[in-house]
Chain A
Amino acid sequence: MSTLSTVDESALPAARTNDDFGGKSGGRAFCDQAARVVMWVAFVVALIPLVWILGATLLKGGHMLLDIDWWTKSQSGITARREGGGAVHAIQGTLIQALVTALISVPIGVLTAVYLVEYGRGRLAKAVSFMVDILTGIPSIVAALFIYAMWVTTFGLQRLPIAVCLALTMLMIPTVVRSTEEMLKLVPNELREASYALGVPKWKTILRIVIPTSFSGIITGILLGLARVMGETAPLIILGPYTAVIATNLFDGLMPTLPTMIYQNYTENLQPAIDRTWGAALTLILIIFVLNIAGRLIGRFSKVKN
């Protein structure tokens, strides 16, 4: 510096020392430290129940999942007193009901979100948005009772698996609408305008530009909504009681699911049943975990490139 500089250094102000800045403020350093500690404690406290639940289910239910029968057999003809049998009937039921629920809710939810973001102006849009907000807050048992009142009391129909799907649909639609709406709003308006300026009609712009751009976010939202719906129990207890046998017909009889299997076995209070409770709980956690991973992977392989 001094060899290169032609400036008379004595004319420059003296280099600042730490003292000129007043040193590090003691109060601020203390607050920084305190906030750091509080944050870490909060983090650990939040983590405890999660780790605990995972640990307990793994310890108490893990051995059930290692048995091949768990994945291939139902509980048909096995009493709570006896060991053995599997959970395939409940796994199947949960997957079928989740799939059917998704098939009904995703088109309705995504289209509602498209309406709200791309077309909705004025009173109707406000009303729809308000309804979605209310629907989000409906407790699952209320949704179940509403479907029960309609399906059984009003129409005089049997309790059927499809009625369960309808109740779950009521719970899934608002989450799909909200998450899709957020994702569509994230698509910059410039992209829509760029497309309009090429003489592309609005509907095609939405279908080919807006939705592909937000595709991974929409899928993630749908999968999270689905995961939530899979664990719902209240509609199942009211509309879809447990049965120990494999059932795949949505329009006839009862369909067992993992939550009702957990509930049923929990009430038995016998060791084989308790084992099955933990096993079913772990299976449900695993399925939802896999769904979440799938959501991430789809997000990674999305079409938005940089």
Chain B
Amino acid sequence: MAKRIDVKDLNIFYGDFKAVEGVSLTVEPRSVTAFIGPSGCGKSTVLRTLNRMHEVIPGGRVEGKVALDDQDLYAPSMDPVAVRRTVGMVFQRPNPFPTMSIRDNVAAGLKLNGLKNKKQLDEVVEKSLKGANLWNEVKDRLDKPGAGLSGGQQQRLCIARAIAVDPQVLLMDEPCSALDPISTLAIEDLINELKSQFTVVIVTHNMQQAARVSDQTAFFNLKATGQPGRLVEVDDTQKIFSNPTEKATEDYISGRFG
């Protein structure tokens, strides 16, 4: 089910401002890739180009190639809505739909896209909540509002919602930055399980987290202040954290920044 992502010579713009320059990397199926780097260097921006969410922002546009198993995501014939069904996303802050119950939140993607069969929906809800390690905590209150859960539970609810539409790839934009350590641990365990089914790309500010969950790590940095962000180095997580090729990577990881 999972697919490979190939990014080639990617430039990303906000209007006339070039935010990210010349990113090329490959993400293998059923692996976890972590994006690390200082704030404002374009990690989240790159992540959002992988499911065409970048262009939702006024003025946002992209040059270069992003392919999913040789299928060009930015081909003129490609429908961005279809891309987003294939490449799911979890955001920095948990954002369950406030008008919906827990059940409806999980089923939202399918329901809004026209699936009506109640039995089928219930099956997907149970499977997704189990997949997000949330089923046991909420199975008795599926009709309660999703916004009533704790922050960590809400984030797992959002993960359940994202995997309910059965994507090939799951993008996570700092999914634990608004959570306490215990909820973070729960999400990290979950990421480990998710990679058996999905290709996962995660943006994180927490280097220990990157080291714990990812197979591959990409380090982004700004060339200089006011310059576009770029991909400094991408390699096996082991190698990045023990013996990086670039000096800048080593400085950042060891805390000798700048």
Residue numbers of A with Cβ under 8 A of B are 121, 188, 190-201, 204-205, 208-209, 212-213, 215, 303-306
Contact = CB atoms under 8 A, between A and B. Distances in A.
A190 B145 CA distance: 18
A192 B162 CA distance: 14
A204 B112 contact: yes
User: Closest 4 A-B residue pairs measured CB to CB?
Assistant: A199-B85, A305-B145, A198-B109, A197-B89
23 contacts: A190-B93, A191-B98, A193-B56, A193-B89, A193-B95, A194-B91, A195-B112, A196-B81, A197-B51, A197-B91, A197-B162, A198-B109, A198-B112, A199-B83, A200-B108, A200-B113, A201-B81, A208-B112, A215-B99, A305-B99, A305-B145, A305-B147, A305-B148
Contact of A197 (B53, B97, B98): B53
Interface string B84-109: 11101101010101110100000011
A196 B95 CA distance: 13
Contacts of A198: 84-85, 88, 108-109, 112-113, 161-162, 165
B58 interface: yes
B158 interface: yes
B115 interface: no
Contacts of B58: 121
B82 interface: yes
Contact of A213 (B51, B81, B98, B109): B98
Nearest to A215: B99
Contacts of B89: 193, 197
B44 to A, nearest CB: 12
Interface in B132-149: 144-145, 147-148
A304 B165 CA distance: 24
Band of interface residues on B: 20 to 34
Interface of B: 51, 53, 56, 58, 81-86, 88-89, 91, 93, 95, 97-99, 101, 108-109, 112-113, 144-145, 147-148, 158, 161-162, 165
Contacts of B165: 198-199
Contacts of A192: 56
A208 B98 CA distance: 12
A224 to B, nearest CB: 22
Contacts of A121: 58
A192 B91 CA distance: 12
B104 to A, nearest CB: 10
Contacts of B98: 191, 213, 304-306
A189 to B, nearest CB: 9
Contacts of B51: 197
B95 A188 contact: yes
Given A193-B53, A200-B109, A305-B148, 5 more contacts: A194-B91, A197-B51, A198-B85, A199-B81, A200-B108
B113 A199 contact: yes
Nearest to A209: B97
Nearest to B98: A304
A215 B97 CA distance: 14
B109 A190 contact: no
A11 B98 CA distance: 56
Contacts of A201: 81
Nearest to B83: A199
Nearest to A194: B95
Given A193-B56, A195-B112, A305-B148, A200 B81 contact: yes
Nearest to A302: B99
B203 to A, nearest CB: 14
Contacts of B161: 194, 198
